[in-house]
Amino acid sequence: MTDQAQLDAVLAHVDAGLDQSLDRLFHLLRIKSISTDPAFAAECQKAADWLATELNGLGFNASARPTPGHSVVVAHGPDQAGPHVLFYAHYDVQPVDPLNLWNSDPFDPQIREDASGRKIIVARGASDDKGQMLTFIEACRAYKAVTGSLPVKVSLMLEGEEESGGKNLPPFMRDNAEELKADIALVCDTDMWDRQTPSITTMLRGLVADEIVVTAADKDLHSGMFGNAARNPNQVVAEIIASLRAPDGSVTLPGFYDDVAEISPELKAQWQGLGFDEKAFLGSVDLSVPAGEQGRSVLEMLWSRPTCEINGMSGGYTGDGFKTVIPAKASAKISFRLVSGMDPKKIRAAFRAHVEKMIPADCSVEFIPHGGSPAITVPADGEFLRKALSGLSAEWGKQAVITGSGGSIPVAGEFKSILGLDTLLIGFAHVDDQIHSPNEKYDLDSFHRGIRSWVHVLAALSK
């Protein structure tokens, strides 16, 4: 068989086997692998074990390796000529609340049609990241079935703590650095540019997440008996939150923007050329006015500017009805997305110093860290990047683009710092996938052509 004939045969196998691929995805989606909630620890292990079994069935040497948290699945394919790729994805998912906003059970995956007649796979994790993860594994399966081997040497590292701070993966990578050596890392956890245009993401924001718990009195108080006289921690936490953003949308922490560089005129021009529709982007979630720094484009806000977001806040009585209480404690979960150049340690320290300064007499604050990682920028001129772009372009019949992303994928920074690897971020999700929200979905097309895309990309990398 010529290279092209072999490629065509593998792609035909993908097309013919799509239903079986979906069956396997659905099996994985039914496993409730919510990593942040200890109640679902056994489900996380179940997902890891299932993946190890599947990969062993494809000729990998695979196992679910224990960590102090959830297992990491590591798998190695047979040696091959050409580059050695290390594929990463995560098998854990976000919690599902508010459950009442789901139109179907989040762990009972379904294929439905959306309003425009497009077929979608609806389930928690359909897009983030089980669907994306299986695009790669199913591409490997098709190669194995048709050619008996893979075009390059493939290792996989599939983790279970991406959605919960991921404290155990970096030490695991350090402890197993020799075993995990490769030439390039591949990560499938990002979006296409639009439904016609594949993309490789080369700028990812970092993340610092912190929880603050402010305590005043030693018990909940009656607001009639103690109001005015006793410090109210709800008020204290609200004042801290309010102090973090200026009226112009900028973040107020001292030094926050010190290490933030303006993007180059070239990149700015390229982004303008993407024709991003700010109105449509915000309109898709019923908004119309960008809330961030005034005078910046939405793409800048999302890709090249740091954020401060309040992901959760809670204090006092929050059930139905009313209770005239002054609570003993109030809390907030706050995260900062970082851009290239910002030091997570420095930002966390600046945040904590700012909070400490705002804690009044009689109050104390506890900080609970929830992970931190720097932003990364992938060199935009490498050989692997060029080959991967050509593979993607071959599948989609359209030149693949290079984009930024507002999200954070800490492991990309760790591939660089721990293993010395650059990362290609290739994904098939869409901005309307409602990841982390009720009714998460993955386009059936993302799944099908995502598998085909990896077939092309692996072929391109082998040349």
Please state, in angstroms and rounded to a whole number, the distance separating the CA atoms of residues 155 and 73.
10
Using CB under 8 A as the binding rule, whether residue 245 contacts its own copies is answered as: yes
CB 373 within 8 A of CB 418: no
Quick one: 402 or 431, whose CB is closer to its own copies? 431
Binding mask 267-306 for its own copies (x = CB under 8 A): --------------xx--xxxxxxxxx----x--xx--x-
Instruction: List the one residue from 63, 132, 155, 164 that touches its own copies (CB under 8 A).
Output: 164
Give how many residues touch its own copies by CB under 8 A: 99
Nearest to 199 by CA among 207, 209, 191, 187: 191
DSSP-assigned letters across all residues of 120-146:
EEESTTTTTTHHHHHHHHHHHHHHHHH
153 sits near its own copies (criterion: CB under 8 A): no
Residue with smaller CB distance to its own copies, 164 or 453:
164
Stretch that binds its own copies, among 4-12, 77-85, 118-126, 222-230 (CB under 8 A): 222-230
Q: Least separation, in Å, of the C-beta of 394 and its own copies?
A: 28
Spatial contact of 219 and 328, defined as CB atoms under 8 Å apart: yes
Cα distances (angstroms) measured from residue 168 to each of 67, 68, 164: 7, 7, 10
* Residue list 371-410, contact with its own copies (CB under 8 A): 371, 405-408
Beta bridge partners of 84: 153
Whose tokens are 């109105």? That residue is 279
What residues from 437 to 456 belong to the interface with its own copies (CB under 8 A)? 437-438
Q: Does 79 bind its own copies (CB under 8 A)?
A: no
Q: Which of 4, 361, 379, 397 binds its own copies (CB under 8 A)?
A: 361
Query: 30, 21 in Cβ contact below 8 A?
Result: no
Residues 191-210 that bind its own copies (CB under 8 A): 205, 207, 209
Q: The tokens of 35 are what? A: 């990593």
What is the closest distance, in whole angstroms, from the C-beta atom of residue 457 to its own copies in the complex?
A: 24
- The interaxial angle of helices 130-147 and 444-461, nearest 10 deg, is 50
Nearest CA to 331 out of 236, 222, 251, 227 is that of 236
**Closest CB to its own copies among 21 and 232?**
232
Candidates 220-228, 253-261, 346-354, 388-396: pick the segment binding its own copies (CB under 8 A). 220-228
Please report how close the Cβ of residue 408 comes to its own copies at its closest, in angstroms: 6
